[in-house]
Amino acid sequence: MGHEHSLEKIQQALLLHECGRLDEARLIYQEIIRENQVQPVVLNLYGTLLHQQGFHAMAFKMLKKAVAINPDNEIYYNRLGAALNGMEENNQAIVAYSRSTLINDVLFESQLNLGSALLKIGREIEAYIPVKRAVQLNPDSWVARFRLGSIYQSMDKYEQAIQELNLASEKHPFALEPYFQLCQIYNKSQNSKDGLKTAQKGLILAPERFEFYPQLHGISLIKDQPQKFKVLRWAEQTVVVRSTDSNCWYLLALEYQRHDFRIRSLQSAMRSAILEPNSSKCYHTLSNAFLILGKFKSALFISQITSVVFPGAAPNNHLIWDSLFCMGEKQAAWSYWETRFEHEDAPKRIGLPHEKWQKDDSGKKKLLVCSEQGIGDEILYLSCLPDLLQDQTAVVVECDKRWRKLFERSFPSITVVPRQIGYKGDDKVFYDYREVVTTNNINSYVLNGDLPALYRYSLCEPASSKGYLKADPLRIQKFECVLSKISTKTLIGICWRSAFSEPVPFIYAKLDELISGLPEGDYCLVSLQYGDFTEDIVRIERELGVKIYEIPDLNQLEDLDGVAALITCLDLVIAPSSSVLHLSCALGVPTISTYYPNFRSDARTDPLFGNCLPVLKPDESFYSSVVAERTGVATRHFLEFGELPFKN
C-alpha cells in the first residue's frame, strides 16, 4: 500500500473517530494495521478508540506496541496510562503517567491524569504537585480545579478547597461533583448558611439526583430551628421518586422526628426496615420511634431482636435498658446498663488493672474511678462519690480538666487526673491508663457510670438535697456583686438546650413556650445557656418582652469553675438534661429539670439529687407544651413558698 493511500485512510479513520462513529473508524484502523503493523500513530489511535469503547485489555496491547516503537512520545504513555487505569491497574497507570510527565511536563492531560490516579488510591499529598501543575497549564479546566479542591479538602485546608471548588462550578455550572464536595466541607465546618445554598443549588440543577438530600439533611442539623428549612419537603419528594430506597425512608424518619411528627416518623422507620432488613440503623430508628411514642414494649422487642441480629451495633443495649427503665423493670435494666460499652464503637481502654472494684472491696488500696461520656455525666454519676469515699479511702478520679479545681476543693482527700484520652490515626478515641496506673500505684478501677448501680440500685432511696460540690468562695463574692447590680429580686438561672446538638423536640422544650409558661412575678432570669445563643436572647426580649441577663466575661463552655460559682449565687435553676442541670444539682441549688428523672425513677424526686424536681413522669411522652406548663407551675410554687413542690 502506498504512503499517500495509507495517510488518506488514517485521515478518514481519524475523521470518523472524532465524529464519534467509532465502529466505522475501528474497521479502518484494523485494516491499516493488517497492512502495516508498525505505525505507532495508528496503534495509538486504535488503542485510544478501544479504550473509549471499554476494551481496555485490547487497548493496552496496542498502546504498549506504540510505546515500544516510540518510547519518547509522551502522548503514547498518557494513553497507555488511561488503558491501565481502565483495567484497575492503578500503580502501573501511575508509572505510565509519570513517564509522560517526565518526557513533557507541559502536557495538561498527563499532569491531570497522574494527579487523578494518585487521588484514586488515596495518595493525596503526592497528587498535589501534578494537579497544581494541571491548573497552571489550563486554569479554565473545571476538572483540574475540582481535583485541586478535593486535595485541599483532604488536607483540611477548607478555605483553599472552597475557592477551587467554587471556581470549578463556575467553569462548569452543571457539574454536580463540586457541589457534593462543598456540601461535605460546609457540613464539617458547621457552615449551615452556605451549605444549605449549595445543597439546594445541586438539587435545583439536577432534581433527579436525590443523593443531595442526605447532604441537605446533614447541613440542616447544624441549625437551631429546623422549621425554617424546607428539608422536609425534599425528603418527602425523595421517597416519592425513590420509593424503594431504604436510606431515603430512613432519613425521612429522622426528619419527621426533628419536626415532631411522631407517627409519620414511626411509619417511615418501618418502611425503611422492611426495605433493608440487613441495616441495623433502620431498626434502631424504629425502636427509638416507638420509645418516643411511649410504646416501650414495642421498643424493647425491636431492640432485643436487633441485638441478636446485629450484636455489635452501638445503640442496642442503650435502647434496651432505656426501655426497661421506662417500664419499671429495674433489675433487668441494670443488667443491660452494665453492658452499655459492649459494642464495636466503644472506645478501647488500655492499661487498666485486672481487678474491677466491687462495693465490698473496701480498703486502703488505690482505686481509679474512670471517666465516661460527657462532662455532664461526670457530675451526674460522681454524685455517688461521697458514698464511695465511705467505703474506699484512697481514690483517684479521672474527669475533664475543667472540673479539676471544683473536685479538688470539694474532696481534698482524692487525687484528680485529667481524662487519659488519645487518638489513633483515623480519629478513633481510646483511653490509655498505663502511666496514671503506674504513677499512682492503682490496684483496681471502676467506671463512674457504674456507681449509681452500686449505690442507688433501688432508685427509691432518698438522695441528699445539699449537693456534694463546693464552688470557689472568692468567685462567689464576685458574682454576688455582679448580680446585685443586675437585680435584687429572686434570681432564676435558665438553660434550654445543649449547645452541641440540635433542638430535638422530644428532649428540649421550645424556648418560646418555656418562657411563655413562666409566671409573672418578682424575679430575674439569668442565662446559663452555654454556647452562642445571644440571638435567641435578643429575639425573646423583642418578641415576648422578657429579659434574660447574660453575665459578661464568663466563658460558660470553658470556665466551669466560674459557672459553678455563678450557679451557687442563684435561688433556682431551670434546665434540661445537661451539664448545667447536673452541676446545679451537685451544688445543692433548687433545680427544675425539664426532662425525666434519671433512670426514669418514680421516686419522690430524682434518685441522684434530692434537690431536683423533674417535671415529667417516667412513663410519659415528652411534649414541649406540657413541659413548659409544668415548669411554670413549679416556678410559681417556688416563688410563693420558697421551695419546690416535691411529691409526698
d(CA 303, CA 285): 10
Longest dimension (CA), the chain: 113
Query: Of 337, 372, 391, which residue constitutes the final position of a domain?
Result: 337
Q: How confident is the model at residue 255 (pLDDT cuts 50, 70, 90)?
A: confident
pLDDT at 588: 96
pLDDT at 491: 97
pLDDT at 313: 82
pLDDT at 1: 46
Residue 322 grid cell:
432505656
> By mean pLDDT, which of 237-241, 319-323, 581-585 is the weakest?
237-241
Q: How far, CA to CA in Å, does 232 sit from each of 256, 261, 265, 473?
A: 7, 11, 12, 50
Whether residue 227 has pLDDT greater than 60: no
Q: Is the domain of 199 the same as that of 259?
A: no
**CB-based contact 272:249 (threshold 8 Å):** yes
Each residue's pLDDT tens digit, 418-464: 999 887 655 578 899 999 999 999 999 999 999 999 999 999 888 88
Examine residue 379 and state whether it is found in any structural domain, yes or no.
Answer: yes
H or E element, residue 367:
strand 366-370
Whether residue 2 has pLDDT greater than 50: no
> By mean pLDDT, which of 241-250, 269-278, 445-454 is the weakest?
241-250
The domain that holds 619 is classified in CATH as 3.40.50.2000
Q: Is the domain of 521 the same as that of 561?
A: yes
Q: Is the domain of 499 the same as that of 608?
A: yes
Q: How confident is the model at residue 225 (pLDDT cuts 50, 70, 90)?
A: very low
Q: Is the domain of 409 the same as that of 529?
A: no
Examine residue 237 and state whether it is found in any structural domain, yes or no.
Answer: no
Domain that holds residue 449: 348-455
Higher per-residue confidence, 334 vs 43: 334
Q: Is the domain of 137 the same as that of 172?
A: yes
Q: Is the domain of 546 the same as that of 398?
A: no
Q: Is the domain of 512 the same as that of 614?
A: yes
Examine residue 283 and state whether it is found in any structural domain, yes or no.
Answer: yes
Backbone angles phi, psi at 460, to 5 degrees: -125, -10
> By mean pLDDT, which of 259-273, 385-399, 412-426, 606-620 is the weakest?
412-426
Query: pLDDT > 70: what percent of the chain?
Result: 93
Examine residue 224 and state whether it is found in any structural domain, yes or no.
Answer: no
Residue 469 grid cell:
460540690
Whether residue 18 has pLDDT greater than 80: no
d(CA 606, CA 7): 92
Whether residue 4 has pLDDT greater than 90: no
pLDDT at 337: 94
Backbone angles phi, psi at 591, to 5 degrees: -135, 135
Angle between helical axes of 56-69 and 74-86 (0-180°, round to 10): 160
> How many domains in the chain?
4
Each residue's pLDDT tens digit, 295-323: 999 999 999 999 988 888 878 889 999 99
Examine residue 468 and state whether it is found in any structural domain, yes or no.
Answer: no
pLDDT (mean) for 240-249 = 84
The domain that holds 285 is classified in CATH as 1.25.40.10
Name which of 460, 459, 507, 452 is nearest 340 in CA terms.
452
Q: Is 524 helix (H, G, I), strand (E, B) or coil?
A: strand
| Sign of the four-CA dihedral 94, 100, 102, 108 | negative
**CB-based contact 162:139 (threshold 8 Å):** no
Whether residue 648 has pLDDT greater than 50: no
Whether residue 226 has pLDDT greater than 60: no
Query: Of 210, 240, 271, which residue constitutes the final position of a domain?
Result: 210
pLDDT (mean) for 572-588 = 96
Name which of 141, 115, 135 is nearest 126 in CA terms.
115
Examine residue 233 and state whether it is found in any structural domain, yes or no.
Answer: no
Examine residue 226 and state whether it is found in any structural domain, yes or no.
Answer: no
Each residue's pLDDT tens digit, 175-204: 888 888 888 888 777 777 787 778 777 777
Query: pLDDT > 90: what percent of the chain?
Result: 53
Q: Is the domain of 170 the same as that of 77?
A: yes
Backbone angles phi, psi at 445, to 5 degrees: -145, 160
Query: Of 337, 371, 405, which residue constitutes the final position of a domain?
Result: 337
* Alpha-helix residue ranges (DSSP H) falling in 487-529: 511-517
Enumerate residues 6+ apart whose C-beta is below 8 A from 308.
none
Residue 615 grid cell:
417535671
Beta bridge partners of 228: none
Whether residue 639 has pLDDT greater than 70: yes
pLDDT (mean) for 354-364 = 79
Whose grid coordinates read 424556648? 511
pLDDT (mean) for 497-518 = 89
d(CA 542, CA 79): 67
Please state, as a whole number, how many other Cβ atoms lie within 10 Å of the Cβ of residue 131: 29
* Alpha-helix residue ranges (DSSP H) falling in 223-357: 231-241, 246-258, 262-275, 280-292, 296-309, 315-327, 330-337
Whether residue 224 has pLDDT greater than 60: no
Each residue's pLDDT tens digit, 457-487: 999 888 888 999 999 999 999 999 999 999 8
d(CA 21, CA 15): 9
Q: Is the domain of 319 the same as that of 187?
A: no
pLDDT at 433: 95
Q: Is the domain of 206 the same as that of 258?
A: no
pTM: 0.74
> By mean pLDDT, which of 25-29, 103-107, 252-256, 545-549 is the weakest?
25-29
Name which of 281, 213, 119, 64 is nearest 111 in CA terms.
119
Q: Is the domain of 490 the same as that of 589?
A: yes
Whose grid coordinates read 510527565? 101
Q: Is the domain of 83 the same as that of 186?
A: yes
d(CA 414, CA 395): 5
Mean pLDDT of the chain: 88
Examine residue 236 and state whether it is found in any structural domain, yes or no.
Answer: no
Whose grid coordinates read 463552655? 557
pLDDT (mean) for 335-348 = 87
Each residue's pLDDT tens digit, 129-181: 999 999 999 999 999 999 999 999 888 888 999 999 999 988 888 888 888 88
